[in-house]
A and B are shown apart, each in its own frame.
Chain A
C-alpha cells in the first residue's frame, strides 16, 4: 500500500498518460490525476449528455491536468473553457441539468469555489426539494481541495464542512487512485448533486488501477483492518492514516483499523459505528480546522451511537483553528504521523489487556 503514501511534491509532474480504454486495462500503476482523467473519458464516451467544463479545462487540460486530452478527444462542444466566473459555472450547470444534461464542472481550487457558494447551497442543493423531486440535478462539482502541496494563499483550503452542512448535497472524496476512478464514475451516475473533493496532495500518488468493484457511493471502506482503535480519515489523510497505522504497530504494538469515509455526506453510520463498536476507541483525522469542523460531527454521532462500547473519548486530530498557513509553515499545521501517534497514546490504555 506504499503507493498511496507518496510524498507530495511542490512541482507537479505530468500525470501518467491517461485515456486508456475502460479505466485502464494495463496493469501499471497510475496516478490519481490519471485515474480521474480516465473516469471522465469513460463517462464522456458512455453518455453523450455528459459535459465537462470550467476554467482552463479545455485545451490546457486543467491546472492539475486532470482533463488532459479530453477536449481534443471529445471536442470543445463537450469539454470546454468557460468565462472565469464560478457562480456562472455552477449556475449554468444547474440549468443544463434541468434540461437533461449531466454536467461535470471544475472549481479550479477549493477557495476559488466560494463565489459559487450561493448557487451550490441555495439552488444546486435545494431544487429537488423545492420542486418535490420534479427537478433532478445530476451535477458533479469537482473541487481540488486541501493542502500539503506548498500552495500559496487561497489554494489549500479544506472546505468540506461548508458543504456537508447543506442538506441535498452529497460530499465525497477519494483516498486512492482506484477509488478516485470508481467514485467519480459513481458520482456522475448519481441523480443527486455531488461535491467531489479531490485531495491535491494525492494527485500524484500511484497504484495499479482497479476500475471495477468497490463499495457504493455512500459507503465507507476499511482500508486496513485492526482490532485496537479505529482511525477515521478521508481524502488526503487516508494515506497519512495508513502510515500512522504502520508506525503504531511498530512503535506502540497497537493494531489500528483505518476507515476511509469516502462519503462525508451522507455518513455511513453502519460501517463506521460497526468498526468503533468492535475496537472501542476512535480518532477522527482531518486537515481542516477542528472548531466547528467535520470531525466534531463524526465524534458526536459516534459517541451517541457507540457510547456503551467506548473505552475512551473519541479524539480529533485536525489542523489548528487558523487560516491556512503559507508554505513555509504548513508542516506545523497539517496533522502528521507523530501527532496521530500522540493522540492514540491518549486513548485511556491503562486497563488495556
Chain B
C-alpha cells in the first residue's frame, strides 16, 4: 500500500469551509483550532487601520473623478486582507503588492503620496522599496510572486531572517508565473507566504471561468505546500493565518498558500462598469459580510472599543484623507531629464545625447534650418 508523506496530509486545507475567527455577526467563528485569536490590542489596531484604509480608498476613488489620479483600482470590501496581512508582518519582512493593494502599502507605513505615484502617473514607483521593504506594485499579474520567492531564498542563503509575503488575486492564479512561484517556493522551502485575495472577479471574469478547482487553496496540495482556506473578510483570521505562516516560514518550515474569500465591492477601477457582469443582489449579500462592521461589533461586544475610540479612529481617517487630498492637489513635478537617468547604472553616451537633445528642444534651441 502506498502511504502519502506527512506533508501531503498537512497540506490539505482542514474542513470544507473557510476558517474564521469572527463571523459576520461578530460572534466567534470556527477555525478548527488552526488559527489563534489575536491579542486585544492587535484587534483594536486592525479596526483602526481598516477604518483609515477604507477612508483612503474612498478618497483615492474621488480623486480619479477630479482628474487628480489617472486610475485607481479600489480594494473596498477587502480591508481585512489589506490590513490583516500587513500587520502580521515583522519589520524585516517584505511585502510584494499588486496594483490593487495600495491600502496594504500605506498600512506598511509607506507615505500615501509616494504610494499613489504610479496611479497618479508621476513615476512607475514613487517609494523606495528598501525603506519599508515593499516591492514595487505588480501590474502584470503574478510576475512579482517569483521575485518574492527569489528574495526569500536569498535571505536564507545569507542566513538572514526575512519572510516575503506575496499578494495575489484569483485571476492571477491562472498565470504561469503563479505556478512557477509556488513550485519553486515549495521545492526550495523558501520563506514565502502567498495570500490569494479571491474577490470573485478578474476585472469582469468570474472565478468559474478561471478554474475548475474546488478551491484555490487546494492548488497548494499539488505543490506539497501547506494551504489554508480562510474567510477573507475576517481581519482576525487573515492576521492569524498570515502570522502563523510567517512564523513557520521563518522557522524553516517552508511556504504557505492562503486563499482568502472576499469580495470587490467596487468595480475593477473607476473606468469599469461592474453592472455589465454582476448583479446588485450579489453585492448586497457581500455588504452584509462587511469586514469593518463585524470587527467593530465583536470589539464592542467585548467592550474593547467604545464610541470615543471609534470617534478617534474616524478623526484619524479624515485627517489621512485630507492629507492625501492636499498632496494630490499639488501639481506634479516630473522632470523630463529623469527619462534618461535610471535606465542604466551609468547613462550611456547615446542616452546622454538624447537627454541633451530633449533639453535643447524644451529650451527652444533646436535649429531647424536646412544646411
Among the listed stretches B255-263, B274-282, B343-351, which one makes contact with chain A, having 4 or more residues with CB under 8 Å of it?
B343-351
Q: How many residues of A contact B (CB 8 A)?
A: 47
- Complex Cα spacing A168 to B128, Å: 19
Asked if A85 meets B343 with Cβ closer than 8 Å, knowing A91-B146, A99-B155, A99-B158, the reply is no
What 1/0 flags go to A29-47 for Cβ under 8 Å of B? 0000000000000000000
Structural contact, B149 and A129, CB atoms closer than 8 A: no
Asked if A123 meets B147 with Cβ closer than 8 Å, knowing A82-B184, A87-B176, A96-B153, the reply is yes
B183 within 8 A of A: yes
Structural contact, A83 and B345, CB atoms closer than 8 A: no
- Complex Cα spacing A119 to B130, Å: 21
Structural contact, A93 and B124, CB atoms closer than 8 A: no
B349 closest partner in A (C-beta): A269
What 1/0 flags go to B155-168 for Cβ under 8 Å of A? 10110001010000
A11 within 8 A of B: no
A-B contacts counted at CB < 8 A amount to 135
Most B C-beta atoms less than 10 A away, residue of A90, A91, A267: A91
Asked if A92 meets B345 with Cβ closer than 8 Å, knowing A83-B183, A87-B176, A98-B135, the reply is no
Chain B interface bracket (under 10, 10 to 19, 20 to 34, 35 or more): 35 or more
Structural contact, B148 and A95, CB atoms closer than 8 A: yes
Structural contact, A95 and B151, CB atoms closer than 8 A: yes
A191 within 8 A of B: yes
Structural contact, A267 and B350, CB atoms closer than 8 A: yes
Structural contact, B349 and A128, CB atoms closer than 8 A: no
- Nearest CB of B to A247, in Å: 34
Structural contact, B150 and A91, CB atoms closer than 8 A: yes
Structural contact, B343 and A128, CB atoms closer than 8 A: yes
What 1/0 flags go to A93-113 for Cβ under 8 Å of B? 111111111010000000000
B160-201 interface (Cβ within 8 A of A) = 162, 164, 176-177, 180-181, 183-184, 187
Residues on A with C-beta less than 8 A from B183 are 83, 85, 88
B288 within 8 A of A: no
Asked if A131 meets B343 with Cβ closer than 8 Å, knowing A83-B180, A87-B146, A91-B150, the reply is no
The 7 closest A-B pairs by CB, nearest first: A95-B150, A91-B146, A92-B150, A88-B180, A99-B154, A95-B151, A95-B147
Q: List 11 A-B contacts (CB under 8 A).
A: A87-B177, A88-B180, A88-B183, A95-B146, A95-B148, A98-B150, A98-B154, A132-B342, A134-B129, A191-B345, A266-B348
